[in-house]
Amino acid sequence: MPKDFLKLSDHTPEDIRWLVEETLRTKRAGRSEKPLAGKSLGMIFTKSSTRTRIGFEVGMYQLGGYATTLRPDEIQLTRGESLRDTAQVLSRFLDGLVVRTYSQEELEELAAHATIPIINALTDKYHPCQAIADYATMLEVKGTLKGLKVAYIGDGNNVANSLLMGGAMLGVDVALATPKNYAPPQDVLKTAAGFAAQSGARIDLTENPLNAARHANFVYTDVWVSMGQEGEENIRRKEFKGFIIDDALMKEAKPDCKAMHCLPAHRGEEISASVMDGPASIVFDQAENKMHAQKAILKKFLGGK
Ligand code: CP
Ligand code: NVA
């Protein structure tokens, strides 16, 4: 097993399924397990975070370990110390490092020079911890992942890439509706297609949100403007108009369809307030499951589970 959790496709579908199932076992176990007693986790966040960071911090504490946040402006990285040196030094102190940053390549470089497990807490390309929580939430609602369809409406971004890869690996059908030129990158689509051929998952790409939502068990969306894309805000607001989970879209999906969002949300843009705050919404269960998923990830990568 690779030492790091940088993207789902580095791992086997069996390992990803184990993490999804372990998330729900971990949730049931509550605070009773302390397999990481005496271990320390570092966390570098070069972008904002509410759920992921607090989920790791509290999760590590609940597992008996200690977590410390390394603010990029307070460590020597921002004063020119190289990633390679930083990775080697931190490997001498810590048992694992969680990193949220812009570039996936930068994260992979850091991981290559670290001897401890590096966990991707979001890059511009992937958000693998989110996908584990997302599929665990679907499993929690339905009791199985077999035969399910999730429709993703919006930007083919980090969250979409990991959701797509997860579905392809786990055998969940994924329909993505994105505006023209906002589909996931070709390399992600190709890798996902390879996994889907093995798992039997169906992958559909469309520019029509209502088509994507048809007969879906879950509809999912994320912000139109991700962190780091603030300069594209005006154009994106125009191009993403209509890529919204609202009551009309919910009507296309299955009657018991649930609405998901990785959060934070912008009501009235990618999701209507009526859906976000209505009976079909499971967004806060999904948010809670981030912590349980991240505890499962910590157990596997720091605890050798
Ligand atoms: N969903 C998610 O990753 O949230 P944060 O940005 O608050 O961590
Ligand atoms: N796509 C969003 C997800 C935030 C959790 C972003 O990268 O900003």
How is residue 267 annotated by DSSP? B
What would the mean pLDDT of 159-164 be, rounded to a whole number?
A: 99
pLDDT at 71: 87
Closest protein CA for atom 7 of ligand 1: 50
Strand ranges across the sheet with 149-153: 203-206, 173-177, 149-153, 218-221, 258-261
pLDDT in tens, 56-94: 999 999 999 999 999 888 899 888 898 889 989 999 999
User: Which residue has a Cα nearest atom 3 of ligand 1?
Assistant: 52
- Ligand 1 pocket test, pick from 44, 47, 48, 50 with the greatest ligand atom count within 8 Å of Cβ, gives 50
Substitution candidate for ligand 1 out of 69, 122, 127, 163 with most atoms within 8 A of CB? 122
User: Look-up: residue for tokens 């209509």?
Assistant: 242
Q: How many angstroms does the Cα of residue 150 sit away from the middle of ligand 2?
A: 19
Cα(35) to ligand 2 centroid in Å equals 31
Q: Is 230 exposed, middle or buried (0-12, 13-18, 19+ CB in 10 A)?
A: exposed
What percentage of the chain carries pLDDT values higher than 70?
Answer: 100
pLDDT in tens, 94-150: 999 999 999 999 999 999 999 999 999 999 999 999 999 999 999 999 999 999 999
Residue 18 structure tokens: 């184990």
Query: CB of 89 closer than 6 A to ligand 2?
Result: no
Q: Which atom of ligand 1 is nearest to the CA of 129?
A: 3
CA distances from 288 to 8, 48, 56 (A): 21, 18, 12
223: helix, strand or coil: coil
Q: What is the largest CA-CA distance in the chain?
A: 55
- Average pLDDT value over all residues in the chain: 97
d(CA 207, ligand 1 centre) in Å: 26
Task: Sketch out the chain's domains with CATH numbers.
Answer: 8-126+290-303 (3.40.50.1370), 130-286 (3.40.50.1370)
What's the pLDDT score for residue 153? 98
The encoded tokens of residue 76 equal 């020597």
- With a 6 A CB cut-off, is 50 part of the ligand 1 pocket? yes
Structure confidence at residue 305 (pLDDT): 81
In tens, the pLDDT along 200-236 reads 999 999 999 999 999 999 999 999 999 999 999 999 9
pLDDT of residue 16: 98
Look at ligand 1, atom 1, and give the residue with the nearest C-alpha.
Answer: 262
pTM of the model: 0.98
Residue 39 has pLDDT above 90, yes or no: yes
Mean pLDDT of 168-189: 98
Give the ligand 1 atom nearest the CA of 262: 1
pLDDT tens digits along 4-14: 999 999 999 99
H/E/C letters for each residue in 68-127? EEECCCCCHHHHCCCHHHHHHHHHHHCCEEEEECCCHHHHHHHHHHCCCCEEECCCCCCC
262 in contact with ligand 1, CB cutoff 6 A: yes
Ligand 1 midpoint to CA 121 (Å):
9
**Per-residue confidence (pLDDT) for residue 77, from 0 to 100:** 85
Q: Is the CB of 51 under 6 A from ligand 1?
A: yes
